[in-house]
Structure 1
Amino acid sequence: MSAGTGRTAAGASEIEFAPALPGDAKIEPGIGYLQPGGLIVHTGWSHSSPPASKDQVLSQHDAYEGTQSWKISTPDGHPAARFIGYLTYERAEQAAAAIAAALPGKAWPARASGEGPLRQLALDASSTPAMLPLTRGGKPDWGWGCQWINWTMPDTRAQYEQMIAAHGVSPANCRTCAGIKKRWGRTVWLPRTGHWPRWNPSVHRRGRECRAHCMCMACISPPAIGTIGTVVDDNGQTVPGVRSAYTSTPIRDADHQEVPSEERPFAWFTQLLEEGGCVILDNRPCEGLWPIGVRHDDAFFCETGLDPDLDS
């Protein structure tokens, strides 16, 4: 790493530093900037690309003026911020100072373990909207959230929900969210992503890096499409029923040929309209045609008398 940016805050000092890594990873010590509040601001470490061998040593990225990824860690090398990369050194310094100010004694003790309870206080303090890595017009900003801002998945569902509540389900300052909402006005039948990756510990494991508008199969939400009518139950009685699918579900045409994926929403619409006389389209996460997490009194079927368990 180059010997410094020349832009450290008053009281910050350049020290030898290396992040704590799991397993037998080999790492070459580099440089960190010890902040007045006791935390370290530094660039990242990586192998050359592609790695030449399993024994290759991780080396630090050079520091330079302008936009690059800056991280905040405890003195013993553990991440101290929920957001992973601050886009300028100055913004990382501001965040490190704010995190330290939220701790008991308003500083990270020099001998405190980065694996102890104090680190959770630091992560909680760094999860708020004021701590976003990007700023616009002097205010914290999500920008194009799907491209720039990564963070670590919280350890518990409660912490995850708390972070969403603080920022909003679709933050007003996320231009990716705004773009998706605008497109949905014209293409509501297309799959989409939500701002927050879904809570799914088997996919988005605790402490692992994640990002806004995740495109993995666990996070993409295809809209539900369906119709209502009647079915015959096991006792031979005619009862209310629902037929539903996703707009991306495979479907065959009148000639028993599979409909191309881009035409499936329209094929489903035509078939369901002919079958039930109406079509219901819901772009919220659904089970059948029942929005997940929506109370009965708030859902469409409160006016029809249909029970969500009667999907067929």
Structure 2
Amino acid sequence: MGSGLCRDRVVIVTGAGRGIGRAHALAFADEGALVVVNDVGVALDGSRTGEGPAADVVAEIEERGGKAVANTDDVADFEGARRLVGTALENFGRLDVLVNNAGFVRDRMLVNLGEDEWDAVIRVHLKGHFAPLRHAAAHWRAESKAGRTPEARVINTSSGAGLLGSVGQANYSAAKAGIAALTVVAAAELARYGVTVNAIAPSARTRMTEEVFADTMARPDAGFDAMAPENVSPLVVWLGSTESADVTGRVFEVEGGKVALAQAWRHGPEADKGARWHPAELGPVVADLLAKAPAPEPVYGAN
């Protein structure tokens, strides 16, 4: 067991049946949290499998001396997300932390990407973040207005693909970029209710990334598997603790033993004529702006 950093804090982790989500659930439980393990049980492409991974993770937590309950609601279903928040309240009497992690991929080059593949990925990632956040936020606002201001935390899951783009993942990249934007807006709106909202952009070996990281080996000098999903969870647990009260609206990149703060879009060089530009004038103006600005980070997979 851990240090008790999150002792008796009630935590929801979505997509917690496998991979990074499972690692989060176990790590929170090891630090004394009471965990709602959410997983609808789907294959990598989002199709139903009939498996019950959420119950398996609950069993793991209980075997380690922790407390957890399973929830199999679809987080991208608005009423399902409401029931998910209700599961925490009904079983543990409160909610302190929401970790939005659920997702899947349907990768395709843009010219071959189907409408259903676009809709499915946007739904599970972006709406699947919004819906639980919406219901959790409503609960925390009510608590705050009743004079019980919470020390609540939301940790969303973006991606390097959302921050920089990724060839062959237009749908996934767009959804993850949306999650980063949702994070900063929610942080600004919910601060008054005692809620912080941050996001991570993790790199780890999961069902979604196992082909990408198939050749990645543990460090021979220390036996450290840099791509193990368990490497991502310590930061998430810390962000879910009361110690992180001063950190909100941030996106962190996490890989192996590395934690980095991602820099958001920022205002850059500008030119102000004080009047409307004529199209023919703008060629040298744009060239000058580009010359003054740093080159953009390359898109993942771009030549």
- TM above 0.5: no
Q: Which of these two proteins has the greater Rg computed from alpha carbons?
A: 1
Greater helix percent: which structure? 2
Question: Does 1 or 2 have the higher relative contact order (CA < 8 Å, sep 6+)?
Answer: 2
TM-score using structure 1 length: 0.27
